[in-house]
Amino acid sequence: MSAPRDEMELKEEVVRALYPAAAALLAGLDHTPRLARPRAAEPAEERSPGIGTRPRFRSTTPGLLTQSTARPSDVRLIARIESVGGDDPIVAPQEAMVLQALRRALAIALVVGEDFSAASGLVELKKANLEGRLPTPRAAEFSELLSAEALAVLFTFANATAFLLAPHATPQTIEIGAVEEVLTDNAILALHGALWELDQDIALFATDEPRLVATTLAFAEALMAKARARAESAPRLDGFKARAYRLKADDFPITGFEAARKARGTQLTMAFKKPEEVIGNHIAKYQAMRLAKMLMAYDFERRLNPFAELGGFIFTFMGDGKPGTGKTTLIQMMAGMIDGYCKVAGYPFRYQNLGIDNVDSYQGKSGQNAKSFITSVMDPAVIGFGTIDDIDQVAGKRGERGSSAGQQEITAVLMEAFAGANTVVRGNATFGMFSNYPEMVDDALRQRAGARFLVDGPQTQDDYIDILALLLGKNHKIPVGDHDLYAGQEIKKAVAASFEGHALPHEAGLQVVWEKVAAKIGPLDTLTKLGTYLKAIQEADGRFTGRAIKNITDAVKVRAMDFELPDEWMEKPDLFLFKDYDTKLAMITDLRVPITVDMVVQEINRYADSEFRYADKSDEAAIEGAVRDMRRMEEAKRRYLGGKG
């Protein structure tokens, strides 16, 4: 892991010195939109008609010679925001809070812009341009540096706005669409365009104070995304990306184009489930419970999890099973456990689900939704849990005629995020993909699931008695009878039996491979024999590639962490959670168990069983579809010939 960059402190007095310039931008400015179309009919009226209008901001920055022949728009954000509360002459607290956040964010952005300008030599070029002595060979450099400064200032403004407003966010969200008026001629013009568009969005969406906060936050997030995307191909930004700042008063870090989100989690409204309320699904439940505790080992200062460094962290997993077997219950259990642990530790927890409503008919929008989902869950300032429920409907199978363009976009984003060249697994976030029909999920995407949770629901007679008692509740006097209620759900006993059950394959196709290999080489007790078994599986199913081997070895490493962090460590954070990174790493290392042959064989069979199960289901579904088509053709032919006679 790269060492953290040295941070330069932004002086509070320097930021406050630019408050008047920031306030002037908010009070009034003239801007003629170039990339976006006006959507709000009129600028907001001043609160006090008897008082003259506030002065409009005009740039006095040296070297910025800009002209506009079109009629400019009048933007008065202070008046716009104060008008959200209706005719009440007293400014509402949320209105004042948003204005203060915007003023401070603008001042911070201007300070960063000045520092970039000084460090890059742009100051001298601005002065030379203003005096008419800019050398012609340096004109292109001057233009590129102005654009770079504009992007740095835009992103910092949006970043600071989102950071400062984060503690005041509500569960309400507003979809404002993409930011369009992103101008990079120079920093001041860039801010003019951004404030003009924010004024438009507030006029359209902020019908009350809570929606004002939500609209401003949505705008900041969208502006960050647009500026970051433009910066990927823009020159002269290495200086900004390499420098790191921190504003001590707000503990606000600025590290290039990385969002510095305040520790803000999600207010969850789902009905949480306790582990004892999950009947059956022993391995899935056990792994989910352990993963919930693994996430809590994340070190916010080092931005790394000891489990991720040791190789026992589950970054992505696939949960599959028939309808009604408990996938939603498993999500509710895991989210509830993480939420509870985070509340005890004071950590921000963010849960998000990428559902079918994120598939959009507009080109690029579905991919944008997926990227926003990934970015939000992987935010290094929070503990994140992301789910894609019914992933077979959300993400399209490549080459499948029934998959929409939006589904294909989501598939591409998820594949890149889960195992792409730029994927960084810090160990603060995990993603669960759930489906009743995993065979309908793209093969490459499915293989990016590092772990497989078979969600098969109640299996034994004891399971069915337990789930009946659980769902009936307590409003009855029916005796239990000859049964030790919930004894079969004792997790360690049930999990041990479940793992041992994978000493031999379950699926018929894999059983054939196993028997053939066993007859040829005997017990699988060496790496050579295990590799021979893996090669035999690959010959039977060509999709069993090197990625499958990686997933198996990752699962074995998880088994090497086959211990549960003591509940006391979660209940009393000082015992573990609040320790420094190296201490947590040493504590976890001491608990590791050696890898055994049995573990490897069981994990090979577990993973291969799932792939053969998916293949069998996929083939069977295709055969059934072909049979239905043939029957329809036969019936159509019979009716056609009957009608002719």
What pLDDT digit, counting tens, does each position of 308-360 carry? Answer: 888 778 899 988 877 877 788 888 889 999 999 999 998 989 999 998 888 88
pLDDT on residue 440: 84
Cα separation values, 505 from 378, 610, 612, Å? 36, 10, 10
pLDDT on residue 615: 66
What whole-number distance in Å separates Cα of residue 251 and Cα of residue 448? 36
Q: What top-level class would CATH report for the domain 275-622? A: alpha beta
Q: Residue 457: what are its φ and ψ, rounded to 5°?
A: 70, -165
Nearest by Cα to 125 from 108, 147, 109 = 147
Q: H or E stretch including 94? A: helix 93-120
What pLDDT digit, counting tens, does each position of 441-484 carry? Answer: 888 888 888 887 778 778 778 888 888 888 888 888 898 888 87
pLDDT on residue 621: 59
pLDDT on residue 125: 93
Give the alpha-carbon dihedral of 202, 205, 208, 209, to 10 degrees.
-50
Instruction: Give residues with Cβ within 8 angstroms of 261, minimum separation 6.
Output: 162, 163, 166, 379, 381, 382
Helix, strand, coil distribution of the chain in percent, nearest 5: 55, 5, 35
Reduce the DSSP state of residue 315 to 3 states and report it: coil
pLDDT on residue 617: 57
| Every domain of the chain and the residues it spans | 7-56+71-255, 275-622
- Are 387 and 373 within 8 A, CB to CB? no
Residues in the chain: 645
Q: Is the pLDDT score of 414 beyond 60? A: yes
Q: How confident is the model at residue 63 (pLDDT cuts 50, 70, 90)?
A: very low
pLDDT on residue 4: 41
Find residue 388's DSSP bridge partners: 433
pLDDT on residue 269: 56
What whole-number distance in Å separates Cα of residue 368 and Cα of residue 641? 53
Q: How confident is the model at residue 74 (pLDDT cuts 50, 70, 90)?
A: confident
What whole-number distance in Å separates Cα of residue 465 and Cα of residue 191? 65
Instruction: Give residues with Cβ within 8 angstroms of 310, minimum separation 6.
Output: 557, 561, 585, 588, 589, 592
Find residue 435's DSSP bridge partners: 320
pLDDT on residue 65: 41
pLDDT on residue 62: 45
**Helix intervals (H) in 395-507:** 405-419, 443-446, 461-472, 491-500
Q: How confident is the model at residue 282 (pLDDT cuts 50, 70, 90)?
A: confident
pTM for the whole thing? 0.58
Instruction: Give residues with Cβ within 8 angstroms of 456, minimum separation 6.
Output: 280, 281, 321, 322, 325
Better pLDDT: 66 or 39: 39
What whole-number distance in Å separates Cα of residue 256 and Cα of residue 237? 9
Q: Is the pLDDT score of 93 beyond 70? A: yes
